[in-house]
Structure 1
Amino acid sequence: MIKIGRVVVSLEMREVYREDRLLHVGSRAFDILELLIRAAGRTVTKDEIFQHVWPNSVVEENNIHVQLSALRKIFGADRQVIRTFSGRGYRLTIPVEAAEPVDPCGAAAAPHASPVRPSGLPVCHTPLIGRGEAVADVTRALKRTPIVTLLGSGGIGKTQLGIAVARSIAAASEWEVCFITLASVNSAQSVVNTVAEALGVPHASGDVPLQALVDSIRERKLLVLLDNCEHVIESAATICELLVQASADLRILATSREPLRTRDEKFCWVAPLETPGEGASPQAILACSSVRMFLAQMNALNSSVESDRSSLEMVATICRRLDGVPLALELAASRAAVFGIRKLLAELDDRFQCLTGGRRTAPPRQRTLEAALDWSYQLLSATERVVLHRLSMFPARFSLEAACAVAACGRLTHNDVTEAIVGLASKCFLMTTFDSKTKEYFLLETTREYALRKLYESDEADEVLTRNATCLAPADEQPYGRVFGAPASGGGLAMVAVASR
């Protein structure tokens, strides 16, 4: 990373940041910026720019002026960093600083150091909306503890938030950043090998020993972003604890659908985006982060939504029914861009059939709404699955006592149900409210619809329906919020910002 005033540039990733925000830079403009940086204060002539940027084309000098104008806008108040020398060329007038650590002793003085540069962060072209406070919270947590885990349901935006935090830390410090995804690994040794490869651990063919990982991180200020840990949670936890015990200068930011449960771990719940309350004004609707994300996705697809009250209320309803989950909003925007928001709203009763238009380049679990839930569902125990099916009978909030009344039967005791509820909550299937003296639980609407489908596919649907009607009072006597999903606006969904184990 290279720092020029308030701008940070990654030549390897061809990315430009200002105040931790990724900026859009055209390829021609970046080519010119790269040439100016590599010139190291020397004046770059127009002929050099033509040869570097347009090597096989004949273009007018005005093309250079257009690209330089775009670059100067990126530098903002520091626009004079690019100075024009009439008749000679252009030069960077602010010294270029290294924003990444440089080993003063050289690789030879540190035989344990990695000869391979750590993996960079992936590019996120979609804007990070409604997560500013979360980025600050997680960054502060990483200053106080070696392992921080971002927890949340599928599609909630854990990876994008983790990348934003890592970029913020890398831009403001001399920490190396290594991004490692575990999505495609499925065994303990493959986790070790994947981490070793990303850290640049030199090894011959075959499996990498754990000690090699330890040796590779000594005396390095390193932030590791370990993505998608939930399906190899025990292996990931073992490696994380081993590494942080070996180096005081190591920080690990993990993303998972359940805690690692390691020593000194803190976890941050990634909440759904804010959704508008029923009857909200147009201004209040547009201020909600879920609405802003939905509209941004529509704009990215060259589509738009009318700004009249009726259209905004339909968008607000879509965001509420999709619980403010970013992946669901992205899939919904893709559908609405083709068929319109009115038809999309009508289709949400069968959301798993219509929300299937994910990016072809996305992992399979992110291409449809159902696939995102399938990924998490496969990680549940048999008892947790049964209890989840039975809890889907509750239209909104419910107490532990009510859950046991409906779910504890057959071979499941009250203790079995209680343990299953703990597991479902830790794996982000079950939400918790803290707005009353008694803790209550509820399922997000999409999760509840998914669990209901599983219940109706099972052999016990009639039995659970009967027990639900027998054990619980009529719906109009229940102290619940709205039907189908989270509590009504103001119901007090609690997503703990930073909680220790």
Structure 2
Amino acid sequence: MTQAIPHLPMLASGCQIIRIGECEVDLGIRILRRRGDVQELGARAFDILAVLARAAGRVVTKTELMDAVWPDTIVEENNLHVHLCSIRKALGADGKLIVTVPRRGYHLIPPRTEPATLAPLTRGNADAITGKEGLLGRERTIAEIRSKLSSTHVLTLVGAGGIGKTSIVREIAHRLAQERVSDVHFVELAAHSTGRDVIDAVATQCGFSFEGRDPDLQFAAHMLAKMKGVLIIDNAEHVVEHVAPLIEFACRRPSELLVLVTSRLPLRVPCEVVYRVGPLALPKANENAESRLDCPAVRLFLRRLSSNGQSIDVDQNRLQVVEEICRRLDGVPLAIELAAGRAAVLGLERIRDGLEEPLLYLGGGYRTAEVRHKSLRGSLDWSFEMLSDSEQTVFRRLCVFDRRFDSDAACQVAHDDTLSPLDVMDCVCELVDKSLVELYIDGTEPTYQVLAPARSYGREKLAEAGELSAVVEKHALYAGGKGADVSFPRLKVATFGPGRRAQITGDHRS
């Protein structure tokens, strides 16, 4: 078998751009641009394109490509063909430069390699990073993160699945590379599951080896402490028990390395500062049409709708429907993108009405996305499976609340003979840490909320556990005890016949 090419680094310290006709492959932040516009390309497809581009005109065999992109995995050759089709489509007219060599492999005619030409960062070229309009609604967030990163050894971006953490750190990586502020190393951990995987991935992206020895945590930490620049670790939540000691050991030594991590829960190491990433801003009440159109959540919906081939005249009625969809989804970017993708086929009103059961409607993400980002259910499964049994129980019971609730409400609804009120609040704290419950401190007493996509998921789990009627009754008793001006909705259970899910609907009273 032909020797495999080592798995491609996500972001090397020296940013390099490979030009292919009118396109450019940014190996630094793994982005393909065509005439300055970012093209959607999945991780596997980008790996294939990078192998072909780096081959500098050499014919690359199918075996080489499959060994490089799917190491230690047996896959059908058809997978390679599918990704090559998506690459050619993304390259547009330059797709013809990828030539199939019968019985041998593939040949890219020949790319020109040169260092990136770095222009001063302006609003115009920053907007080209994630599309014509750029990363919507995150300028303040990015500015705050960069400010904190400059004075923090380890900064962890924590937030719910689909909230946009990866998009934010990719934007930051690109800006740092553009400005030549420092070397940037990007480590993607979504596909890794063991401690050795984590150490190998960090070593590969940071460019150090173990000199013939087995991968060792202490040695890797020692090598990290000797580095300068910014290390970005993306999607750490499922391997946090391996990432945390590596970072903590590295922090014990004097170092000029800054670490930026994305995760659905904190690392909980002494040198860590946590930054919580929230949803996109929603329109404020009584705003005029122009201001509502400029709202990040609405702009994201309309941009994704347009990218699916649907350009609509946004009159007052349609704008109101779009706003209602975004509001029902609590401004969660992944949910908004999925809703817009479905609306391109089913229509705005059908999607708005279908959000009573969003998990049934909101799938169909980018074909090349990770499984957890192709649908709301995939994203929420990823988070739910990381919870303990007690945390799962409390989470699904808290999903009866349509609005914010306090600790008293949580304890009244979620406690039972096996879960004391203290146990419930311990679980609530863990759920806040793991980004399944949002925490708000507006006054002297904290309040909590489960965002709409997670709430729908939790209600399904509540029905599956056979607890739906009992928990709804507890909620009704609690709400009734609060008086007529209770801020919680009065819930009822609607059933749909054999084989259909039960659904909780709210009679919103205030």
TM-score (norm. length: structure 2): 0.70
Aligned to 1:270: 277
Q: Secondary structure at the match of 2:155?
A: strand
CA 1:166–1:258 in 2, change beyond 3 Å: closer, same or farther? same
Within 5 Å, which residues of 2 pair with 1:153-302? 153-203=160-210, 207-217=214-224, 219-277=226-284, 279-302=286-309
Q: Measure, in 2, the Cα distance between the counterparts of 1:463 and 1:75.
A: 61
Q: Secondary structure at the match of 1:359?
A: coil
Report the Cα offset of residue 458 of structure 1.
0.8
Matched, 1:26 2:35: yes
Report the Cα offset of residue 203 of structure 1.
4.0
Paired residues of 2:297 and 2:331 also in contact (CA < 8 A): yes
Q: Secondary structure at the match of 2:252?
A: helix
Within 5 Å, which residues of 2 pair with 1:73-112? none
Q: Secondary structure at the match of 2:173?
A: helix
The residue identity in structure 2 corresponding to 1:385 is Q
Aligned to 1:478: 486
CA 1:219–1:380 in 2, change beyond 3 Å: closer, same or farther? closer
CA 1:55–1:435 in 2, change beyond 3 Å: closer, same or farther? closer
Matched, 1:11 2:17: yes
Q: Give deviations 1:365-401, integer Å, cap 9, x for gaps.
A: 1111111111000111111111111111222121101
Report the Cα offset of residue 437 of structure 1.
2.7
Aligned to 1:357: 364
Report the Cα offset of residue 475 of structure 1.
7.9
Once the two structures are overlaid, the 10-residue window that deviates more, 466-475 or 260-269, is: 466-475
Q: Measure, in 2, the Cα distance between the counterparts of 1:124 and 1:285.
A: 22
Q: Measure, in 1, the Cα distance between the counterparts of 2:120 and 2:151.
A: 33
The residue identity in structure 1 corresponding to 2:35 is G
Q: Measure, in 2, the Cα distance between the counterparts of 1:205 and 1:398.
A: 56
Once the two structures are overlaid, the 10-residue window that deviates more, 426-435 or 361-370, is: 426-435
Within 5 Å, which residues of 2 pair with 1:335-484? 335-473=342-480, 476-480=484-488
Pick 1 or 2: higher relative contact order, CA cutoff 8 A, min separation 6.
Answer: 1
Q: Measure, in 2, the Cα distance between the counterparts of 1:460 and 1:331.
A: 30
Paired residues of 1:150 and 1:253 also in contact (CA < 8 A): yes
Aligned to 2:324: 317
Q: Secondary structure at the match of 1:180?
A: strand
Aligned to 2:104: none
Paired residues of 2:221 and 2:247 also in contact (CA < 8 A): no
Q: Measure, in 2, the Cα distance between the counterparts of 1:481 and 1:433.
A: 19
Report the Cα offset of residue 208 of structure 1.
1.0
CA 1:24–1:363 in 2, change beyond 3 Å: closer, same or farther? closer
Report the Cα offset of residue 361 of structure 1.
0.6
CA 1:437–1:219 in 2, change beyond 3 Å: closer, same or farther? closer
Q: Measure, in 1, the Cα distance between the counterparts of 2:218 and 2:473.
A: 57
Paired residues of 2:399 and 2:455 also in contact (CA < 8 A): yes
Report the Cα offset of residue 206 of structure 1.
7.4
Q: Measure, in 2, the Cα distance between the counterparts of 1:266 and 1:75.
A: 30
Q: Measure, in 2, the Cα distance between the counterparts of 1:55 and 1:302.
A: 27
CA 1:281–1:386 in 2, change beyond 3 Å: closer, same or farther? same
Q: How many residues align?
A: 391
Q: In angstroms, what is the RMSD of aligned CA positions?
A: 3.3
Report the Cα offset of residue 192 of structure 1.
1.4
The residue identity in structure 1 corresponding to 2:168 is L
Q: Secondary structure at the match of 1:141?
A: helix
Paired residues of 2:162 and 2:335 also in contact (CA < 8 A): yes
CA 1:55–1:140 in 2, change beyond 3 Å: closer, same or farther? closer
The residue identity in structure 1 corresponding to 2:487 is P
Find the structure with the greater CA-based Rg.
Answer: 1
Structure 2 unaligned blocks of 5 or more: 1-13, 37-95, 99-116, 123-128, 492-503
Q: Measure, in 1, the Cα distance between the counterparts of 2:259 and 2:396.
A: 35
Q: Measure, in 2, the Cα distance between the counterparts of 1:259 and 1:245.
A: 18
Q: Secondary structure at the match of 2:262?
A: strand
Q: Measure, in 2, the Cα distance between the counterparts of 1:325 and 1:273.
A: 6
Match of 1:148 among 155, 159, 162: 155
Once the two structures are overlaid, the 10-residue window that deviates more, 219-228 or 363-372, is: 219-228
Report the Cα offset of residue 219 of structure 1.
4.6
Q: Measure, in 2, the Cα distance between the counterparts of 1:25 and 1:360.
A: 20
Q: Measure, in 1, the Cα distance between the counterparts of 2:490 and 2:147.
A: 36
Q: Measure, in 1, the Cα distance between the counterparts of 2:226 and 2:293.
A: 48
Paired residues of 1:149 and 1:268 also in contact (CA < 8 A): yes
Q: Give deviations 1:124-144, integer Å, cap 9, x for gaps.
A: 457311000111111011111
Paired residues of 2:156 and 2:261 also in contact (CA < 8 A): yes
Paired residues of 1:217 and 1:247 also in contact (CA < 8 A): no
Paired residues of 1:388 and 1:451 also in contact (CA < 8 A): yes
Paired residues of 2:163 and 2:279 also in contact (CA < 8 A): yes
Paired residues of 1:148 and 1:254 also in contact (CA < 8 A): yes
Aligned to 1:61: none
CA 1:441–1:55 in 2, change beyond 3 Å: closer, same or farther? closer
Q: Measure, in 1, the Cα distance between the counterparts of 2:149 and 2:215.
A: 28
Q: Measure, in 1, the Cα distance between the counterparts of 2:490 and 2:287.
A: 16
Aligned to 2:340: 333
Report the Cα offset of residue 168 of structure 1.
2.1
Paired residues of 1:306 and 1:312 also in contact (CA < 8 A): no
Paired residues of 1:139 and 1:169 also in contact (CA < 8 A): no
Once the two structures are overlaid, the 10-residue window that deviates more, 286-295 or 473-482, is: 473-482
CA 1:218–1:408 in 2, change beyond 3 Å: closer, same or farther? closer
CA 1:55–1:327 in 2, change beyond 3 Å: closer, same or farther? closer
CA 1:173–1:216 in 2, change beyond 3 Å: closer, same or farther? same
Q: Measure, in 1, the Cα distance between the counterparts of 2:148 and 2:460.
A: 39
